[in-house]
Amino acid sequence: MDINKKAYTKETILKLNIFQDCFKEWFPVYLHSDYVNPLYIYDMFAGSGYDADGMPGSPIILLTEAKGDNNQYCQLIIDKKKRVYFGFNEKVLSKSNELKENVDKYLSECKETCKLNECCLHTQIGQYDFQEIIESENFINILNNSKYGKFILLDQYGFKQITNDVFLKLIHSPNTDFVFFIASSFINRFKELPAVTDYFEKNKLHFDATKPKQCHQTIADYYRSLIPNNLEYYIHSFTIQKGANYYGLIFGSGHTLGMEKFLRVCWKHDVFAGESNCNLENDFEPGTLFYGTAEKNKIQDVKDKIKSLIRERKITNNIDGLKYAIKSGCLPSVYISAIEDFKNKGIVRIIGEYNKAATNIHKIKRYEIELIQ
């Protein structure tokens, strides 16, 4: 099986669209930041660049997004003296060679119409086993450097590459956002066998046999369970159903803004719940009587939980409420709608200056919530 030898399936195209949108959100944030330089963009399982019909794969998509519309980012990269490095890795020699040809061709065609003297996108093609890279001193130094911005795409086949150790390395790396693909149904199916138990701790995998649709969320919970209690970290998952199987993406960011951006992408691709292509929360489908008339189940659920937590005094300020919303996979505005309800009903009083800000959580002014009823 070679994903680049056939036309991408519609599920693969969805995956690539999500990768693309994530990077589209990530890149300008880091480009405009005065605190990080250089930027490293890694595609660790890059493939050969295109599918059999010439549709761009992840490395070409990343390069295209980095140029921006009308190459607007290239000038900005020069003006801001940013260094932008792409590391494309592909273990299979023939594919890695093909990738190199494809990237060279893409960049030389780009140069034909470019007004800049020199290309500002630096690319390197590797032909390593990913496990070698993640262990290498050079890569670990880049990961650990908080002055460097890192975007890491891990489009593995199957499920064996993102081990506990790899995940822990990624979440402890400053200014590093990542997204990986994983074949969750297979972990569920073979959970008792060494093929799985060699990679995943069995006692931390809690599949519900009655809810196979949720197996990718179970995998996301597995990874969440590895995050140390003292580390503020955000994980979100997106389930991709293909026939009877469930695959999916897992996103990670140590920053609320990173997660806000991921979530916007996910809610664009799943207007019901921002988490799948298969209506995981059983909302009313388009064409049915109640479609669109009621609040979506996921939003309703998270809003109710926020209200309960305010009543239990576990959420006592807006920042915690906003962070709870994003940790639950909702946009931060869900918190605003919960607190507005409570304020209007006289259930809470605000201590400090009330605001309805719900984006850029790290910049929002904090107020306290006092329960009065």
Ligand X SMILES: C[S@@+](CC[C@H](N)C(=O)[O-])C[C@H]1O[C@@H](n2cnc3c(N)ncnc32)[C@H](O)[C@@H]1O
- Residues lying near ligand X in the complex (CB under 6 A): 3-4, 16, 45-47, 57-58, 89-92, 95, 129-130, 155, 157
∠ Cα 54 60 63 (to 5°): 150
Would you say 45 or 73 has its CB closer to ligand X? 45
Would you say 47 or 248 has its CB closer to ligand X? 47
* Shortest reach from residue 87's CB to ligand X, in Å: 12
Would you say 93 or 209 has its CB closer to ligand X? 93
Phi, psi values for residue 56, rounded to 5°: -60, 140
* Shortest reach from residue 154's CB to ligand X, in Å: 9
Query: Kind of pairing, strands 121-126 and 84-89?
Result: parallel
CB under 8 Å to 280, separation ≥6 — which residues? 213, 214, 217, 239, 272, 273
Q: Is 191 exposed, middle or buried (0-12, 13-18, 19+ CB in 10 A)?
A: middle
Would you say 23 or 130 has its CB closer to ligand X? 130
**Tokens 């992408």 belong to residue:** 265
**Tokens 């900005």 belong to residue:** 76
* Shortest reach from residue 139's CB to ligand X, in Å: 13
Would you say 23 or 335 has its CB closer to ligand X? 23
Would you say 157 or 190 has its CB closer to ligand X? 157
CB under 8 Å to 135, separation ≥6 — which residues? none
Cα separation values, 247 from 118, 132, 259, 328, Å: 41, 25, 20, 20
Would you say 46 or 220 has its CB closer to ligand X? 46
Would you say 265 or 338 has its CB closer to ligand X? 265
* Shortest reach from residue 245's CB to ligand X, in Å: 15
* Shortest reach from residue 179's CB to ligand X, in Å: 11
* Shortest reach from residue 278's CB to ligand X, in Å: 20
Radius of gyration of the chain (CA): 22
* Shortest reach from residue 219's CB to ligand X, in Å: 17
Q: Which residue, judged by CB position, is nearest to ligand X in the bound state?
A: 57
Tell me the C-alpha distance between 60 and 253, whole Å. 23
* Shortest reach from residue 193's CB to ligand X, in Å: 20
